[in-house]
Structure 1
Amino acid sequence: MSSSQWSYLLKNSGVWLGSFSQFSPHGKLLKETSSKLTLGSDDGKTIRFTLARDGNPNPVVNEFSSLNRNIFLFEDGHFAKGSQQFSPFSVFGAEYGYVRCDRRCRLVQLFDKDSNFDSVTLIREFREGGEGIEREHLTIEQLEGEWRGEALTLYPDWRNSEPYQTQLTLKREGNTLKQTLKTPFMNYSSEGTINDNIITFNQGNKENRVLLLPDGASSTTPVKIENRQSFFLEFGWLVETNMRLRLIRQYDDQGRWVSITLVREIKS
């Protein structure tokens, strides 16, 4: 672990009041629990983490002085962590987090032992005594348009790419959403079917589902992870009307985690 990773984590320091909202694979709210999370360090060398949730009299308390290889952070404090290897017949998942001013927004995606997308938990957090506000529920209309961004990719051996440019175009036609993604490495187009707060993209035998969620959040996952096929997971957050962040975890056809990418994009 590099020292910079530790300093990036400390950018999440504070007392955060929030809620854990669990949704079904089809975006239906199942339950919601309020929370209070405290994260910080007195000496910069040991971080103390305390999480209290309503209905649970015993808070989770953890102290640590190093980070494991399951979590990777970016300079602003945004992070992603999760399984480094997908294996059939085992529970699989990932967690992401953004921190911006007096706000944090986190997401957990889980798959069951049959590799089916099982649930997503959205965690909306506000700095105690701060001025953070909640965004509205994400809509297709907010996503439509041309997004130009800059991406940075981190790899399991701590290497990182040079920043590179991205261009994402989203256009609705009836109940179809057309998207085109251009980077220096790809030029990719696809179409998704819109059904309320769900967008479904089918490519061959792959089916990816986008859930539009409260607070400007979105979750993208395979409906089912197929063995020996590459796949990706994504968490997006609309932080302003024309500004969006996306974290993308890529896995290869052997189920190995190969990279995490942060995209910062502006709608023109």
Structure 2
Amino acid sequence: MNLKDQNWKNFTTNHLRDWHGIWTRYSPEGEVTESFQSLRSFQSHSKETEIVQKNHYAYSDGRRVEQSWEYNQLSNSLSNGLFHPQNESMRGIFFESGHAAWVSTKLKTDSYFAVELFFKIQELRHSVGIVYDESGRLFRTANIREDATGFPSQYWSNEINQLPERDFSGNWQGTAVTITPDLKISEPVVTQLHWIGEGHKTFFLPDGVSISCPGKVSVGISFTMAANWLVKTSEMHQLLVNYDECGDFSALTLELLYL
């Protein structure tokens, strides 16, 4: 199987579900700006060569909003990732485990810039969104906690406010696998936890979710954004997305770490 077909298969195998969740957005200072109920539904047609995604949002003021997109394996599955119908510069990168990311292929001046990092274990999924404005300043972050078994989730809490800190002490060891923009996947290598705190803005969200990202990004300076999920006290999953000095997406790394 070629790399783009493997990427498509990793997407369809892991994400064709009805994902019931809570979507919470935060200001650059970590304050809640809005929180609402969501359903992201993925349905397949024609032996999983065509996918329809429908997003439903239910707000506390009674508003209901729906969005939908269609993915076709022939036209959307590309050599550098899954083409997003809503944004021509976004690509979906999928690990076999279900961990994934939507990444902007390039940081451009005078344009919004965003990534979404996905974690998945069985019927649980959560993603972290990081968005920068036209000047390259952090615009907002988001946390989407989802459960394919229904709503409300038996796993995720109802808490939405961020925590002042989270303890990452301990000898976290594990393996790292990296996907490059051409969808090549590295062999696993031994690694340990590297949490980027200095020079970054850090956010400690409910249910063991954390974000580390620059407060400002610009072409000419390489940068990394990271998010992790403390699945339990002795298990952590971390995703890191790297951009080079030209502002090009250069790597997505998944680390599975244990105490």
Instruction: Please confirm whether the aligned pair reaches a TM-score higher than 0.5, indicating the same fold.
Output: yes
Give me the whole-angstrom Cα distance separating, in 1, the residues matched to 2:65 and 2:235: 38
* Corresponding residue of 1:233: 225
Partner Cα distance (2:253, 2:166) in 1: 25
Question: Equivalent residue for 1:78?
Answer: 99
Shift in Å, 1:101 = 1.6
Distance across 2 between alignment mates of 1:33 and 1:246: 25
The answer for the alignment partner of 1:216 in structure 2 is 208
Q: Look up the SS of the partner of 1:143 in the other structure.
A: coil
Identity %: 26
Counterpart residue type for residue 173 of structure 2: R
Q: 2:39 aligns with which of 23, 36, 39?
A: 36
The aligned counterpart of 1:154 is 179
1:7–1:227 Cα change, 3 Å: closer
Question: 3-state SS of the aligned residue for 2:107?
Answer: coil
In structure 2, the residue corresponding to 1:41 is in which secondary structure? strand
Tell me the residue number matched to 1:94: 115
Over aligned residue pairs, what C-alpha RMSD do you find?
2.2
Counterpart of 1:117 in structure 2 is 138
Partner of 2:69: 62
Query: In structure 2, do the counterparts of structure 1 residues 79 and 53 end up closer, same or farther at CA, with 3 Å as the change threshold?
Result: same
Gaps of 5+ in 1: 169-180, 182-188, 193-200, 202-206
Which range is displaced more, 123-132 or 208-217? Answer: 123-132
Q: 1:221 to 1:109 in 2, by over 3 A?
A: same
* Aligned AA (2:138): F
Q: Report if the CA contact (8 A) 1:102-1:132 is conserved.
A: no
The 1:129/1:6 distance shift into structure 2, 3 A limit, reads same
TM-score, normalization by structure 1: 0.80
Distance 1:226 1:2 in 2: 30
The alignment's TM-score, normalised by the length of structure 2, stands at 0.83
2:51 maps to which residue? 47
Q: Give the structure with the larger strand fraction.
A: 1
CA distance, structure 2, for counterparts of residue 208 and residue 141 of structure 1: 15
**Whole-angstrom CA distance in 1 between matches of 2:172 and 2:9:** 30
Q: How many angstroms apart in 2 are the aligned matches of 1:46 and 1:245?
A: 30
